Amino acid sequence: MLKILENIQLKPYNTFGISAVAREFAEIRSKDDAIELVKSGVLKGKLHLVLGGGSNILFTGNFDGIVINVLNKGIQLIEEHDDYVLVEAAAGEVWHDLVMWTVAQGWGGLENLSLIPGSVGAGPVQNIGAYGVELKDCFHSLKAIDLETGKEIQFNKAECSFGYRDSIFKRELKGRILIHAVTFRLSKRPQLKLGYGAIKQELEFTGINKPTVAEVSDAVCRIRRSKLPDPAITGNAGSFFKNPVVSATSAKILQNQYPGMPVYPQPDETIKLAAGWLIEQCGMKGYREDDAGVHPKQALVLVNYGNASGFGIISLAGKIQNKVLERFGVKLEMEVNIF
């Protein structure tokens, strides 16, 4: 039976480890719980937030509404074909647990996304990505509950309007739906993507020339652990800023000024820049103001060293944005959702 709790401390529910209190808090452990929540009318006229693993969120104060914590579980094979499978995962599953489950089967598609914090349901909202792969690359469909009507809706890939760290769920449908299951199309004959970041070098270092899906996943995990802080130890939300995308002309001008600047050409002929590199060039890598800081190994990650407030993190983020804009003429956009 669905229960609505009151005055719940949200520090354990966000990877930044920011203290904030939710006026009301509902735990959703099944599709029926979600439907009951809507039908009860408790959401009407109230601010609400669907919360998964809390890995891409920053609270700047108490939440004067109802937090909906999605906790349903389950991973299952729903279709198998000669070349591919369809796997459905409940939105409340830990993302890395799903990746490990698929890797154990030898199915390709998610291995480059190993060790990304958060839940399965949050993945499509952000169109999570890492090392040259985005969730949309192996996304098939998802099921959601309309938080206004209580009806179940299904979305295919086209209907999700995926973009770079973006989707329809961050824009037109923000706050309107609750994702309760996601289906992925995974390959039984994986085409591994090794050209982005340090994956290839990591594999070569360990003497692996013809890697398996599991070996790629292991390499990604080693790289991430060497560069990124563990949220269980140091509060953070992973990449705080998006990598900015600029025109080819703008990129050429910047390259002439900064020959060592990394650039990543995109299919639409725009150029993606490395936000972490830009921040580091501004002397902000390892910078700290009280308990809010920039991680010393990865400038793209802002951290809470213990008792930072949400406003402290935002203040630091603003300072970084101003410095990058002043030096490079490039505006950094926050990837993290602010509440």
* Residues labelled as active-site residues: 165, 239, 335
CB 179 within 8 A of CB 68: no
Bridge partners of 66, per DSSP, are 24, 48
- Could you give the CA distance from residue 215 to residue 221 in angstroms, rounded to a whole number? 10
Which residue matches tokens 């991680």? 295
CB 94 within 8 A of CB 115: no
221 φ, ψ (degrees, to nearest 5): -65, -40
Q: How many CA atoms lie within 13 A of 90 on its CB side?
A: 13
Read off the tokens for 227: 């560069």
- Could you give the CA distance from residue 299 to residue 283 in angstroms, rounded to a whole number? 10
- Could you give the CA distance from residue 259 to residue 265 in angstroms, rounded to a whole number? 16
Residue 313 gets which letter from DSSP? H
CB 2 within 8 A of CB 65: no
Complete DSSP assignment for 120-153: TTHHHHHT-EETTEEGGGTEEEEEEEETTT--EE
3 φ, ψ (degrees, to nearest 5): -125, 140
Residue 188 gets which letter from DSSP? S
Q: At what angle do helices 95-105 and 213-227 cross, to 10 degrees?
A: 150
Strand, helix or coil for residue 301: strand
